[in-house]
Amino acid sequence: MIRNRFLFILLLLTMATTMVMGQERPKWSIRGGVISGIEVEDGDTIQKVNILPIYAFTKPKDMRQYQRLVNNVKKVYPYAKEARMYLDSLNMAYENAGSNRKKDEISKNLEKTIVKKYTPVLLKMTRSQGKILIKLIDRETSYTAYNLVDEYRGSFSAKFWNTVARVFKANLKQGYDPENEDALIEQIIILYEAGLL
């Protein structure tokens, strides 16, 4: 009886190894966000695993304030990305435009489009959202808001709009500092782009 069980188990193991050896394994598979594969190097089978990035940040002291910042960044970050898109299209149009008159016409038309589309949105933003937007525009375009207005609409317009911003305790010349002052905003953007927020 024990011998029969032993033979049965041995027969099952033999069949299982034969079935496994007969199947071809896929080169690459995706399981739970981790991409793994099997490669043969010099006769050795090596399993390769690419792990998704891991983000480790310090926990904020005031979670309510942090959650407000998360909500504000999530609201204004898409507009900063659109600002980069508009700047790229404006630069391409400037390359194709020959004269300064044509460039002025292009920038005025784009300004009208932006004012018409975004004035209702900007009027609904809070001051803190506006300040974050100014910083994120610098992050996305590598230009401060002041530099953008100065370059495309002139220094008078840049000074005027910076004065208006100062009334609301904002500064168009303020840049983005992801290492120090704006480290928490950078952390939120990284998590947001990774789909974790």
pLDDT band for position 14 (cuts 50, 70, 90): low
> Tens digits of per-residue pLDDT, 54-82?
777 777 788 899 999 999 999 999 999 98
Q: What is the pLDDT of residue 5?
A: 66
For residue 30, being part of any structural domain is answered with yes
Domain carrying residue 112: 63-193
Name the domain count of the chain. 2
Both 80 and 172 in a single domain?
yes
Q: What is the DSSP string of the chain?
A: -HHHHHHHHHHHHHHHHHHHHHSPPPSEEEETTEEEEEEEETTEEEEEEEPPP----PPPS-HHHHHHHHHHHHHHHHHHHHHHHHHHHHHHHHHH--SHHHHHHHHHHHHHHHHHHHHHHHHTS-HHHHHHHHHHHHHHHSS-HHHHHHHHH-HHHHHHHHHHHHHTT--TT----TTTTTHHHHHHHHHHHTT--
Q: What is the pLDDT of residue 69?
A: 92
For residue 10, being part of any structural domain is answered with no
Of the ranges 63-77, 99-113, 182-196, which is most confident?
Answer: 63-77
For residue 117, being part of any structural domain is answered with yes
> Tens digits of per-residue pLDDT, 119-154?
888 888 898 998 898 899 889 888 888 888 888 778
For residue 7, being part of any structural domain is answered with no
